[in-house]
Amino acid sequence: MKLTGAEILCQSLEHLGVKHIFGYPGGAILPVYDALGKSKLHHILVRHEQGATHMADGYARATGGVGVAMATSGPGATNMVTGIATAMLDSSPVVCITGQVGSKLLGSDAFQEIDITGITMPITKHNVIVTHAEDIARTVREAFIIANSGRPGPVLVDITKDAQQASAEFDWNASLPKLPPKRVRPSLDKTELDRAIELLNSAKRPLILAGHGIMISGAMRAFEQFVRAGQFHVAMTLLGIGCFPANDPLNLGMMGMHGEAWVNHAIQEADLLIAVGMRFDDRVTGDLRTYAKSARKIHIEIDRAEINKNVKVDAALVGDAREVLEQLLPHIEKKERAAWQNRITEMKGDSAVRDIQSLPDTGHLYAAHVINDLWKETGGDAIVVTDVGQHQMWEAQYYHHNRPRTLITSGGLGTMGFALPAAIGAKFAKPEADVWVVVGDGGFQMTMCELATIVQEKIKVNIAIINNGYLGMVRQWQEFFYDKRYVATPLVAPDFAALANAFGIRGERVTSRGDVTSTIRAARGSKESVLIDFRVEQEDSVYPMVPAGASLHEMIRRPHNPLVETAAEP
Ligand X SMILES: Cc1cc2nc3c(=O)[nH]c(=O)nc-3n(C[C@H](O)[C@H](O)[C@H](O)COP(=O)(O)OP(=O)(O)OC[C@H]3O[C@@H](n4cnc5c(N)ncnc54)[C@H](O)[C@@H]3O)c2cc1C
Ligand Y SMILES: Cc1ncc(C[n+]2csc(CCOP(=O)(O)OP(=O)(O)O)c2C)c(N)n1
Output 133 or 257, the one with its CB closest to ligand X: 257
Partner whose footprint covers residue 306, from ligand Y, ligand X, Mg ion, none (CB < 5 to 8 Å by kind): ligand X
Asked if 448 contacts 420 with a C-beta cutoff of 8 angstroms, the reply is yes
What is the closest distance, in whole angstroms, from the C-beta atom of residue 238 to Mg ion in the complex? 19
Q: Is 111 a catalytic residue?
A: yes
Alpha carbons 187 and 207: distance in angstroms, whole number: 25
Partners of 467 in beta bridges: 535
Stretch that binds ligand X, among 159-167, 250-258, 360-368, 443-451 (CB under 6 A): 250-258
Site string for ligand X, 414-453 (x = CB under 6 A): x---------------------------------------
99 binds ligand Y (CB under 6 A): no
Number of amino acids touching ligand Y (CB under 6 A): 20
Q: Is 223 a catalytic residue?
A: no
Output 44 or 439, the one with its CB closest to ligand Y: 439
Q: State the DSSP code for 354.
A: T
Q: Is 473 a catalytic residue?
A: yes
Partner whose footprint covers residue 35, from ligand Y, Mg ion, ligand X, none (CB < 5 to 8 Å by kind): none
Site string for ligand X, 463-482 (x = CB under 6 A): ----------x---------
What is the closest distance, in whole angstroms, from the C-beta atom of residue 423 to ligand Y in the complex? 15
Output 216 or 520, the one with its CB closest to ligand X: 216
Q: Is the dihedral of CA 386, 391, 393, 394 positive or negative?
A: negative
Site string for ligand X, 83-112 (x = CB under 6 A): -------xx---------------------
Asked if 209 contacts 255 with a C-beta cutoff of 8 angstroms, the reply is yes
- Whether omega for the bond prior to residue 152 falls within 30 degrees of 0, making it cis, is no
Look at residue 247 and give its three-state secondary structure: coil
415 binds ligand Y (CB under 6 A): yes
Site string for ligand Y, 472-511 (x = CB under 6 A): xxx-------------------------------------
Partner whose footprint covers residue 416, from ligand X, Mg ion, ligand Y, none (CB < 5 to 8 Å by kind): ligand Y
Asked if 159 contacts 103 with a C-beta cutoff of 8 angstroms, the reply is no
Partner whose footprint covers residue 474, from Mg ion, ligand Y, ligand X, none (CB < 5 to 8 Å by kind): ligand Y
What is the closest distance, in whole angstroms, from the C-beta atom of residue 414 to ligand Y in the complex? 4
387 binds Mg ion (CB under 5 A): no
151 binds ligand X (CB under 6 A): yes
What is the closest distance, in whole angstroms, from the C-beta atom of residue 317 to Mg ion in the complex? 41
Binding Mg ion (rule: CB under 5 A), the pick from 74, 472, 544, 562 is 472
Query: How big is the CA angle at 567 (ends 565 and 570), to the nearest 5 degrees?
Result: 160
Query: Which residue from 168, 277, 137, 154 is spatially nearest to 212, judged by alpha carbons?
Result: 277
Partners of 96 in beta bridges: 69, 156
- The radius of gyration of the chain from alpha carbons, rounded to an integer in Å, stands at 24
Output 151 or 509, the one with its CB closest to ligand X: 151
Look at residue 157 and give its three-state secondary structure: strand
Q: 451 to 470, contacts with ligand Y by CB under 6 A?
A: 466, 468, 470
Half-sphere exposure of 133 (CA within 13 A, CB side): 22
Asked if 299 contacts 317 with a C-beta cutoff of 8 angstroms, the reply is yes
Secondary structure string (H, E, C) spanning 426-488: HHHHCCCCCEEEEEEHHHHHHHHHHHHHHHHHCCCCEEEEEECCECHHHHHHHHHHCCCCCCC
258 binds ligand X (CB under 6 A): yes
Output 10 or 274, the one with its CB closest to ligand X: 274
532 binds ligand Y (CB under 6 A): no
What stretches of 203-290 show up as alpha helix (H) in DSSP?
Answer: 212-217, 220-230, 261-269, 282-285
Distances (CA, A) of 477 to 143, 391, 440: 41, 15, 16
Partners of 131 in beta bridges: none
57 binds Mg ion (CB under 5 A): no
Binding ligand X (rule: CB under 6 A), the pick from 257, 344, 383, 497 is 257
306 binds ligand X (CB under 6 A): yes
Partners of 2 in beta bridges: 169
What is the closest distance, in whole angstroms, from the C-beta atom of residue 311 to ligand Y in the complex? 25
Alpha carbons 140 and 143: distance in angstroms, whole number: 5
CB-based contacts of 517, cutoff 8 Å, min separation 6: 373, 376, 377
Stretch that binds ligand X, among 55-63, 236-244, 285-293, 460-468 (CB under 6 A): 236-244
What is the closest distance, in whole angstroms, from the C-beta atom of residue 13 to ligand X in the complex? 24
Q: 388 to 447, contacts with Mg ion by CB under 5 A?
A: 440-442
278 binds ligand X (CB under 6 A): yes
Output 264 or 410, the one with its CB closest to ligand Y: 410
Biggest CA–CA distance in the chain, Å, is 74
558 binds ligand X (CB under 6 A): no
Burial of 176 (0-12, 13-18, 19+ CB in 10 A): exposed
CB-based contacts of 457, cutoff 8 Å, min separation 6: 44, 424
Q: Is 49 a catalytic residue?
A: yes
79 binds ligand Y (CB under 6 A): no
Query: Which residue from 94, 105, 103, 53 is spatially nearest to 76, judged by alpha carbons?
Result: 53
Partner whose footprint covers residue 211, from ligand X, Mg ion, ligand Y, none (CB < 5 to 8 Å by kind): ligand X
With the CA atoms of 266, 270, 273 and 274 taken in that order, what torsion angle do they form, in degrees rounded to the nearest 10? -80
User: Which parts of this chain interact with ligand Y (CB under 6 A)?
Assistant: 387-391, 414-417, 440-443, 466, 468, 470-474
User: Which parts of this chain interact with Mg ion (CB under 5 A)?
Assistant: 440-442, 468, 470, 472
Positions marked catalytic: 49, 111-112, 161, 473
User: Which parts of this chain interact with ligand X (CB under 6 A)?
Assistant: 90-91, 151, 211-213, 216-217, 237-240, 254-259, 277-279, 281, 283-284, 301-303, 306, 320-321, 388, 392-393, 411-412, 414, 473
